[in-house]
A and B are shown apart, each in its own frame.
Chain A
Amino acid sequence: MIMIRVGLTAALCRLCISDVQSSNTSTRLISTGISPLFFKASTCLYAEPLKKKKRIDPAILKQREERKKKRLEKQIRRLERNAKQLKPIDELEVPLELVDGKKERMREAAVITPAVEEERALLTKDWTRYKRKQHLKDMQMIDRLMFAQQKALDELRQESEELYQAAIQINPTLLPFTVRGPVKTPPIKGYDSPDGEYTDVSKKW
């Protein structure tokens, strides 16, 4: 018992302030609140003690800021890209300026006399008749063209099967074929365009 006690106090002598080894200790002392032992426990800290703020390298700080900037810019670019793509027609809405200004943009209801109405109705009927005749003429022309071609192919076949087979081959080099359509007035020779020439720089894949 004595030996253990002395051992304990010797081991724990660094914990207390007073000089334990020199003082004559009584071996009958049990309590911990007196001189040789002097355990002092701090108050119960339920929370963790505050960590020390370390000094961060300024280079690393800059890196972090740059990364944040880059992320924002990337998002801006993505939004812009979406804005350039055209919306599908189903998603389009009437612009708000027109919806708000509907009153001032409405015209007064035009007075259409019965005479004008009748004239319009008769003109529409004339137009349908005219267009129908045009359509029939076009159909007859197409039939005539097809008949002439078929006759030519038959005559060719009578002459030589080989030439006929060559004639009915599909020519893949024909398409794509582009032609610019008719205009209202012919182009002015040597015209210097005030807006400049238009050069197409779009990428072709």
Chain B
Amino acid sequence: MNLAQRSIRLCLYSTSAQVSRTKWDLMSAVCLERKPVLSGELNEIERKFSRMLADIELENSHKSDHEVRYETETLQAELLKSKSLDLDIEQTLQQTAQDFEDAAVDEYNKFVFESRITEADKANDLQNLERKLDRHLLLLVQQKQWDQKIWALPQGLQKDGETMLQTAERVLREKCGDDLTVQFYGNAPCGVYKYKYPKMFVSREEEGPVGAKVFFFKAQYIAGYVDHNKLKLQEFKWLGREELMSSLSQEYYRNISQFLIDEE
């Protein structure tokens, strides 16, 4: 609640535009996620509660047509055994309720469902989107920063005349190709990461940028694959939430996890 009040106050009071005196490079980054394809497994308490609800519903329910038919047929069968009733040939030729039930159960058992754990899971193929189907996957790209290569969300510098969202779209197209179909979630950025350029790499002029502000834009993966001509296999990976911490720098990870949706 404290956070909410603070954010509301920020909305109300930041009415005037104050242009900062220091110059920052403006960059857009794309937070591209493949949403879960499978629903998660129920945990223990959810399983127990759903079983209890099913029991209560059964107790309060009336019998269905199938159940009534089944009971009448069992009664008939018992009567046939004890007293010799006239066998109605037509009735015996029809499928009894028990037969129908058995046939249905057989069909269900014979049907083979696709496994929830795919081959990509077993092979631990980080470039494959079929991995971890019940969790979120985030696209990370290897980027050159100064003298080292680091893993980060794909980002790029804003050009003149572009809005930040257009920059983000352009960055994604340049890095991953046209095949990837995504849906951006709107014009507003979801987070910001400010960092100052280390002094040895920055020119000594007063006018130059002090650092960079990276604005993150959320997008959802819809279809397509990353173009392998633009990004080779070692240069990109789709990671689940637990694996992010090991690949990203601590500060960057802290910043990003602020606007990522929780997972249990």
A contact residues vs B (CB 8 Å cutoff)? 98, 101-102, 104-107, 110, 112, 120, 123-124, 126-127, 130, 137, 140-141, 143-161, 163-164, 166-171, 174, 177, 179, 181-189
Check if B81 is an interface residue, CB within 8 A of chain A.
no
Known: A148-B258, A153-B189. A184 touches B52 (CB 8 A): no
Residues of chain B lying within 8 A (CB to CB) of residue A106? 62-63
B68 touches A126 (CB 8 A): no
Q: How far is the CB of A110 from chain B (nearest CB, A)?
A: 5
Q: How far is the CB of B242 from chain A (nearest CB, A)?
A: 17
* Complex partner residue of B68 from A105, A145, A156, A167, CB under 8 angstroms: A105
Chain A binding surface, main DSSP class = helix
Residues of chain A lying within 8 A (CB to CB) of residue B37? 182-183, 186
Check if B30 is an interface residue, CB within 8 A of chain A.
no
29 intermolecular pairs with C-beta atoms under 8 Å apart: A102-B62, A105-B63, A106-B63, A107-B59, A126-B45, A149-B191, A150-B10, A151-B10, A151-B192, A152-B189, A152-B190, A154-B14, A155-B213, A156-B164, A156-B213, A158-B18, A159-B26, A161-B17, A166-B163, A167-B165, A171-B186, A182-B37, A182-B38, A182-B39, A183-B37, A186-B116, A188-B113, A188-B114, A189-B114
B contact residues vs A (CB 8 Å cutoff)? 1, 3-4, 6-7, 10-11, 14, 17-20, 24, 26, 35-39, 45, 48-49, 52, 56, 59, 61-63, 68, 112-116, 118, 130, 133-134, 163-165, 183, 185-192, 194, 213, 215-216, 220, 258-259, 261-262
In angstroms, Cα B37 to Cα A146, docked, is: 26
In angstroms, Cα B17 to Cα A160, docked, is: 8
